[in-house]
Every structure is written in C-alpha cells, then in structure tokens.
Structure 1
Amino acid sequence: MQLDTSRDASLESLLAGQPAVLEASADVVAEGVRRSGRVLIVLDDDPTGTQAVAGLPVLTAWHETDLGWALDTGAPAVYVVTNTRSLDAVAAERINREVVRAALLAAAPRGVELGWVSRGDSTLRGHFPLEPAAIAAELVAAGEPRPAGTVVVPAFPEAHRVTIDGVHYTRENGRWVPVGESEFARDATFGYRASRLVDWVAEKTAAAATRGGAVAAPVIELRLRTLRAGAEAVAEALRAAPPGAVIVADAVVEHDMRQLALGLEIVEAEGQSFMYRVGPPFVRARIGQAPSAPVAPRHAKPPAREGGGITVVGSHTALTTRQLDVLLRERPRATVVELDVPALIGEGGAGPAIRTAAQRCRAALASGDVILQTSRELVRAAGPEQSLAISRAVSDAIVEVMREIIARTTPAYVIAKGGITSSDVATRGLEIRRAEVAGSLFPGLVSVWLAASGPAAGVPYVVFPGNVGSDTHLAEAVAKLSGDVAAGSHEAPTPTSSPTSTLGREA
C-alpha cells in the first residue's frame, strides 16, 4: 500500500517542494540481501511489528535452539518478540542482551552473518535509546564490532505515520499532526514532547542520561531530497556520518525506505555495519519483500470445528475504544465478558473475577463469538512504573482467563487487541513459542500468525495493535474470521503471490 498524496490535500501541502518519488524495485533489494547472506534479527518490543511482513519465523522465546530453528528456515529475517515495551528499563536491557547472546551462539556453527533491528513503535513509544545501546554493548562484549551507527526510521505509511524534513507526523481525527501533539506523545510511560526526530533523540537521550543510562550522540538527518536522489547519494551520506551517530531518516512511501535499504547495502558491503531502530515496514523494505495481498484466515478454520472465536481487547487507546464500539454495534449477538480493572487491582485480588470470566467465555464459545474486554475507564497511576504495574496486573488476568479457556476448548480464532495484550496472550495464554507470520489481515496492517505447535496449533492468531486501523477495522477483522462480511467491510482475497506456509514445524 502506498499513500496517494494526490488525494490528500494536507499531506500534499506537507510535501510541497519535495522531489518526486524515486522508485526502487523490491527484487533489487532482495538480490543484494541474498548476495550478502545476512539475516536480520528483529528484536520486536511487542508482537505488532510483524504486521508488515509475511512468510517469516517469529519466536516468543529466545533459547539458542529456538534461534537455530528460525535460522534453519533460510528466512532473511527472524522476529523475536521481547515484549519489552511492557517492561521496565532493567528488564528490557537484560532481555535485549539475552537475545543477542542466543542469536550469536545459534549463528556461529551455521556460519550466518547477522544484522540487528530494534523494532520500536511508529508513534515513538518504547525504550529508546536503551535498547539499541544494549544490543551494541552486548555485541562488543561478545567480541563483535560495534555498529557504526543507529538508523532510526519510525515511518509506517499504511498506518498514516510519515517523516518529512525530519518531522514525524501521524494522522489523527482526519488531519496530519506532528506526533508530539498527538495522544501518543502523552503516553503515561513513554511520553515525549518533540516531533522533529533530532529533537526527540536529544530529549530521550537526555532523559536516559539522568538515570545514568546514555550519553549524547551526534544526530544527522537523511531527508527526502537525499533519499530521492538514489542509493549512491544515501551511501555517501552514511559514509559521512560520524562514528556512533544516530541517523534519522525521512520516509513517506515504500520506495523511500527501499532507497535507504539500497544505500545501506552499499556501505555494509564495504564493511560498515548499522543497527536499525524502526517501525514495522522498514524490515520489509530492507529485505526486499514486496507488500503481500491480505490473507483470508477464515479458510484456516477446520470445517468440523463448531462454536465461535474470541476477541480480547486490552488496549486503552482512543482508537481501540472507538473500534470496540463499532464491533459491539455490528455484532450484537456476541457475548461480552468484561474484566473490571479496579476489581483486578483491588485488595480482594483478581481470582474471583478471573474464574467467573473464564467460565462465561467457555460456555459462550460453544455456540458463538465472545468479546473479552477490560473495563474502558482508564485507571491512572502516580508515575510510569506504577502505570506499567497496573498494565501487568491486567494482562496477567487476561492470560489466566485465556489459559482456562484453551485448556478446555479450542476457539475458532483468537484476536488480541493491543501490544501488551497480544504478546502475553500468545506467549503465556496460548503457549505459542515458535510460529510463522502468515501475512496481514489488511494491506500492511494486523498480523496473522500460525503456531508451529502447542494448544493453539491450527487456530488463526491475530495480532491487532492498539493504535492502527480505521474505526471499522476490528469489526471487519471479526467478520473475516467468522466467515461473513459485516456492513461496510470488504472481503480480503486469498493471497496468490505472497509467501506460503513453508516453515518447518516442531515435532
């Protein structure tokens, strides 16, 4: 999917005076990747980073054997879901280091060269600069060369996040706004003020420095005029970057990211290595994978399976709440089970609420669809750490409910709404350890996984971020997975050219 700037007057005005898009073929990028033999290890801070790719292995555990399984598929990139966006800084650093160690151990006997991606949020939330710094430090500790710099590309055009002249924008309420003025900038844990990426890097680095965790690094911009001058111009700019620089890149369409990928391939072939801190689509551009047609996961539902599927809504973004409202309106026959957040974190404990919710869900799934939601009123805490603690308590309750469900029944599908929710439901609720990214449910949005083994094998698992899609997308997702079409939705075609399920399965 490419943004059609000719139909968006406000975006067209932001692009006034910019050079025309310089097209780049995905096949050309892919050929460079094949020549290098390099495999990207994508440390994904929640599972939503997989929504822009297809046919790649995804891990929710990072033992050396798990990484070995993934590398043996021959895929050009491997996703490791760290879920660090839901964790504190100490845990985030530890997990990043663990993944790097395990990946190096798995790659060494196979003779595989690795590249490193720290996948962050396209709305700039997450542990930055901590996570790239942790990866670099662990590489140095293992005797590997320190990356020459960190390339930051948060753009996600399919979700209406673009970077122009160094300023990152998101589309909110029908208009493009600098991201520092959006609801995402007011995040209780990862809030910020800046919209210009150079300033955002400085803001986040200064905040980390007060905790003894970072030092200032030179920051340079790769603007559209450089990207659209071609790969050699990009390579020249990268060569000129001082050691250890943070390189923030513009991007409006896929071709911008491909030109960056081609420039990176040139300088990396010369011996430099860069680490990437990016939004979801850059990995697709970097490995030369073309956007694939949406999958139609209803076809994965075994004909003999009776009953319904379950949609789990944990995210509290304003968009998620609007999407939930549409879903409830479109599917009045679905059984709604609510987990009351104040009760879950209250003195009485979460046990009674969990047992009641699990019983209601199991009974309802026998004959129809279920919507398991947390109460919509946001419970605020005194600070970021307390906010994370509340999020963990709520997510733990959702996990326990899902464990109770999957132990006694098999839903036709599972949709998990929200980053923390989708990670915990996958790893702890459904016990998904190794999986394949089958593709996306909508063009470039909303990932569909197929588990390699475990109680969820054969059940379409949909990772639905809290901050993407239109107001109707959640209702459309349920309609597709239920095998029907809700009002205003459109049937997704079965892919004919995207990667198919070719990854190995666990014994």
Structure 2
Amino acid sequence: MTASRDQLISPRDANWAEALPQARGVTVAEIRARLSGARRLVVLDDDPTGTQTVRDVPVLTRWDVEDVRWALRQGTPGFYVLTNTRSLSPAAAAERNRDVARACLEAARLEDVQLTFASRGDSTLRGHFPLETDVLAEVLAEHGQPTHAVLLAPAYIDAGRVTVGGVHWAAGPAGLAPIADGEYARDATFGYHSSRLAEWVEEKSGGRLRADQVAEVHLTDIRAAGGGALRAVLSAAQDGQVVAIDAATDDDLRSAVLDIIAAERAGVGIVQRVGPSFVRARLGQEDGSRIDDERLAQLVDPDAHGLVVVGSHVGLTTRQLDVLRQRRSPTELELDVAKVMDPADRASHVEQLVRQAVTALADNLVVLRTSRQLVTGIDANGSLDIARTVSSALVDATARIVGQRRPSFVLAKGGITSSDVATEALRMDRAWIRGPILDGIVSLWEAASGFAADLPYVVFAGNVGDDTSLADVVERLEEASGRSEKPA
C-alpha cells in the first residue's frame, strides 16, 4: 500500500507536518491492554545503544538457555539480547543471530510462552540488513513458524530520525535532511546511497529484494481513523515481504503496534527490523523521559570519580569531547591506534595507560579515548578487523582500571565500545536497563551479574545528542555523587 499524497509532502518544506493528517493519539494504556496474551518480544540488539528509549527491562549479554529463561521469568513484555553483530563480519553475525534465536525458542518452549523477534538496527540504517532478518526467518522456519512479513521501522523519534513518504530523514543543524546526505551513509563498513527505504532495501540486498516489491505504508494510512491499514498489508504479505512504515511521532509507532499485534494474533508471522523508538512502543512504555535524580543518587558512589571510555570516531563525538574538556577539565588519556596495531608496542602502551588512569581516578574524572583519526582497512572486513583490535585494547585497559580502582560510574561512548566494555571489561551477563539519563537518547544500566555488579554503566551511542550532551550526562552523574564542582 502507498499513499501518493505523502509523496508530495517533504520535510524539506517548513509546513510539512501541518500538511499531514493528525496522528491518531494512541495511548500507552491501549498498548498495554493488548499485550495481555500477546507474544513476548525478544530484541536482538546489534549494539547496546538501542536500549536508550526504555526502562526497567532485562538485557542479556549471554544467551544460554538458562539466561533466556531468567529473562522470561521477570514478567516484562519483552527483553533485550545484546548481540553486538554490527562489529562482526557477515558470516559471524549470521551465526550469532542463529545461536541466539535457537536458544530463545528453546527457552520459550520450556517456559511455555510464544515469542516475536525484533532485530534492532541503527536508526541511521547501518548494520547487517537483510542478513539478520533472513537468519531469524530461517530459524523460525526450522521450528515450524513461517515469516510472512519483515517489518521495517527505523524511526528514532527522540533523535529526530523520522520516515515520511517512504523516505528516512535525519535532524541536523539545518533541519531534516534525507538520511543518505549525512555522514552515517559514508560509513566505511555499512555505507549506502539511498534514503527511500524501498530503494535502500534493494541496495542492501544486492538487488535480491526489489524496491517495487517493498510495501510502503505511509503516514496517511497509519493515521487513518480506526487504523487497520498496516494490518491489511501484513495480512496480505507472503514469503517474508518487506513492509516499510512511516513514523514521525510515538503515536504513529503505537498505531502500528496495534495493527502488528492484531496481525500476529490472526496468525501472521512477522520479523521486525526496527530502530529504538519502535521497541518502546511495542513494550507499552511511556516516552523516554530521564531517570530521576533521586534514583541516580542511589546508584553512583560519592567517594569515587567517573571513568569515560570513548571509542566512537564520528564528528559529533569529537565535538562532544571538546565541550566536556571545556566544562570539566578531565584527565585525558589517549589510546594510540598506531601503537595498538603494532604488536611490539601494544602491551606496554596499554600498561602505561592503566597506570596513569588508576592514579588519576583518585583525584579527577578520567577520559580514556582512542586517537581521533579514523583508521580504515582496504575493504569492509579490513576495517572491522582494525576496529576489533582497537576495541580489544580499550576493553583490556578498562577492565584493568576498574579492577584496580572502582570508579563512581563507567560511561562508554560508541556502539561497539559500549558492547565490548559491558560484556568483556565488566563481564555483565544479565542486567537491567534502568532508564535514559538524558531524555530518550542515553541509557543507564545496572548489572545483575559480573565483578562490577551494581556499578552504574552508561551506554552512549556515538551518533546521538548535540554537542553538549556528553558534558550534560557527566554533570548529572557528578551532581548525583556530590561532585558537581569543576576541578581546579
């Protein structure tokens, strides 16, 4: 289904929102009422930053059947499994998705519940698509559960990334622009040229999934009185047809969720490839307002200083570091990528950084960061190999620092960095997502396992917020710990 009217409406126009019909105004209470008896949502998150829009939801970084059973027993309408596949090669990503899906389906059998799977990808369209949804559909088919439709809903409302007229848009200094015009589309590993989702699907599938075979459900359909347009499209889908939906508000996503749940109840098999905002709507949660100061004060240690670990190289992260320097004067330590890539220098370089950080944490906030110049390989796999080597050194240093001097909090900046610090440095197998520390864009976790249990852990994507957001988060954490004064 398409809506030609939407194709004439572009967010380049100042009055684009007024030219569309009013959103339906679906409430969280309506979603929660439909969740009773609905399939339990499993979110396979390709990096940990997808948790930034929800609160009080379990997250697993290990997927043994018993871990999944623990998550299912928590009584929430869904949970996350951190796969970190955006840092893996396509073959490794496929294998990991397969392992996770099989473990989840076995745990669901033992717990006698039904599941629905969402592959959470980047709202800037980076990641292994359609590979990951293909694998989920294959595993479901092994268990006698056909996939009729693959729902594509990348909108991230809190960060200003919306889909209108089948085109995905991103907010920037000059307003909304087609996503392919921005820096994310030039990603060394997951770059692309198309902003229209149907054409992006064709591009990323190498032509296997043609743009004219993608069903588009535009805002005029999502917002139609009484709903049902998306349900009709999903019910007619066959053989994993991609269905791309518009969304410019949380109400649009909640409207879509009502139709999705209704279609699933009628027997339609759906695999979902989504951005962060969809998960919040599907779980029946309110908007991504921040965790309150009282709860934050209960989590941080007033007798310690914080550790900020930065691996992201996007321009926004670099600007955010500049503002943090101006406001807080942290002790800043650089992991030199050239030394890390040289086996003769790596060990001594990491050891030196650990000693410096442990000493500095006694008196000041510490920033441990990679050098700002992005180093890439000769192809996508080469770039991933470099990223993994650098991340390994960063994780090694972080684990040793935390082991020798426990900080007040750990903040990890960057998707791959956040995942590796959580799983390898802090060894979190099970955790709770406690809520955003900035409205809808930065997530605070509390570990339920690992040697750093109860340590506040902040997951901060490289591509979200504005230039002041990193400094704002650090200031909130320092104020909660009673360290709000800027060091001399």
TM class by smaller structure: over 0.9
Residues 470-499 of structure 1: CA deviation (Å, up to 9, x unaligned):
110000111111117999xxxxxxxxxxxx
The equivalent residue for 1:491 is none
The equivalent residue for 2:220 is 225
Counterpart contact for 2:56–2:432, Cα < 8 Å: yes
* Residue in structure 1 matching 2:320, options 306, 319, 323: 323
Post-superposition shift, 1:12? 4.3
Post-superposition shift, 1:433? 0.7
The equivalent residue for 2:36 is 34
**Where in structure 2 are the equivalents of 1:356-435 lying within 5 Å?**
356-435=352-431
Residues 71-120 of structure 1: CA deviation (Å, up to 9, x unaligned):
01011111000000000000000000000111111111211100000000
Tell me the TM-score normalised to structure 2 length: 0.93
Residues 149-192 of structure 1: CA deviation (Å, up to 9, x unaligned):
10000000110100000000001233211001110000000000
The equivalent residue for 2:138 is 137
The equivalent residue for 2:25 is 23
Aligned equivalents of 1:355 and 1:228: distance in 2? 57
Q: Secondary structure at the match of 1:238?
A: helix
Aligned equivalents of 2:353 and 2:421: distance in 1? 15
Counterpart contact for 2:300–2:409, Cα < 8 Å: no
Aligned equivalents of 2:128 and 2:420: distance in 1? 18
Residues 32-91 of structure 1: CA deviation (Å, up to 9, x unaligned):
11132x211110000011111111100000000110110010111110000000000000
Q: Which residue identity is paired with 1:46? A: D
Q: Secondary structure at the match of 2:437?
A: strand
What value does the CA root-mean-square deviation take over the aligned residues? Answer: 2.0
Post-superposition shift, 1:280? 0.5
Q: Secondary structure at the match of 1:13?
A: coil
Counterpart contact for 2:199–2:210, Cα < 8 Å: no
Post-superposition shift, 1:371? 0.5
The equivalent residue for 1:307 is 304
* Unmatched segments (≥5 aa) in structure 1: 1-7, 488-507
Counterpart contact for 2:198–2:212, Cα < 8 Å: no
Post-superposition shift, 1:216? 8.7
**Where in structure 2 are the equivalents of 1:135-214 lying within 5 Å?**
135-141=136-142, 143-206=143-206
Q: Which residue identity is paired with 2:183? A: E
Q: Secondary structure at the match of 2:391?
A: helix
Aligned equivalents of 2:137 and 2:211: distance in 1? 15
Post-superposition shift, 1:16? 5.2
Aligned equivalents of 2:188 and 2:11: distance in 1? 33
The equivalent residue for 1:275 is 271
Q: Which residue identity is paired with 1:21? A: A
Q: Secondary structure at the match of 1:52?
A: coil
Aligned equivalents of 1:128 and 1:331: distance in 2? 40
The equivalent residue for 1:67 is 68
Aligned equivalents of 1:471 and 1:361: distance in 2? 25
Aligned equivalents of 1:445 and 1:174: distance in 2? 20
Post-superposition shift, 1:454? 2.0
Tell me the TM-score normalised to structure 1 length: 0.89
1:455 aligns with 2:451: yes
Change (3 A) 1:302 1:255: closer
Post-superposition shift, 1:144? 2.5
The equivalent residue for 1:501 is none
Query: Which shifted more, 119-128 or 23-32?
Result: 23-32
* Residue in structure 1 matching 2:246, options 250, 262, 271: 250
Aligned equivalents of 2:149 and 2:230: distance in 1? 14
Aligned equivalents of 1:317 and 1:252: distance in 2? 25
Following TM superposition, the consecutive aligned residue runs of length 4 or more in structure 1 with deviations greater than 4 angstroms are: 8-12, 214-217, 484-487
Residues 424-462 of structure 1: CA deviation (Å, up to 9, x unaligned):
000000111100000001111111000002222121100
Query: Which shifted more, 310-319 or 166-175?
Result: 166-175
Aligned equivalents of 1:455 and 1:384: distance in 2? 35
The equivalent residue for 1:78 is 79
Aligned equivalents of 2:235 and 2:463: distance in 1? 36
Q: Secondary structure at the match of 1:461?
A: strand
Counterpart contact for 1:330–1:486, Cα < 8 Å: no
**Where in structure 2 are the equivalents of 1:42-53 lying within 5 Å?**
42-53=43-54
The equivalent residue for 1:104 is 105
Counterpart contact for 2:202–2:210, Cα < 8 Å: no
Change (3 A) 1:239 1:139: closer
Change (3 A) 1:14 1:372: same
Q: Secondary structure at the match of 1:276?
A: strand
Q: Secondary structure at the match of 1:169?
A: strand
Aligned equivalents of 2:161 and 2:370: distance in 1? 27
**Where in structure 2 are the equivalents of 1:486-501 lying within 5 Å?**
none
Change (3 A) 1:287 1:302: closer
Post-superposition shift, 1:11? 6.5
Q: Which residue identity is paired with 1:187? A: D
1:470 aligns with 2:471: no
Aligned equivalents of 1:413 and 1:10: distance in 2? 41
The equivalent residue for 2:6 is none
Q: Secondary structure at the match of 2:228?
A: helix
% identity of equivalent residues: 43
The equivalent residue for 2:91 is 90
Counterpart contact for 1:205–1:216, Cα < 8 Å: no
Q: Secondary structure at the match of 1:198?
A: helix
Q: Which residue identity is paired with 1:311? A: V
Aligned equivalents of 2:418 and 2:11: distance in 1? 35
Aligned equivalents of 1:241 and 1:302: distance in 2? 49
Aligned equivalents of 2:483 and 2:325: distance in 1? 12
Aligned equivalents of 1:217 and 1:434: distance in 2? 42
The equivalent residue for 1:496 is none
Q: Which residue identity is paired with 2:438? A: F
Post-superposition shift, 1:235? 1.6
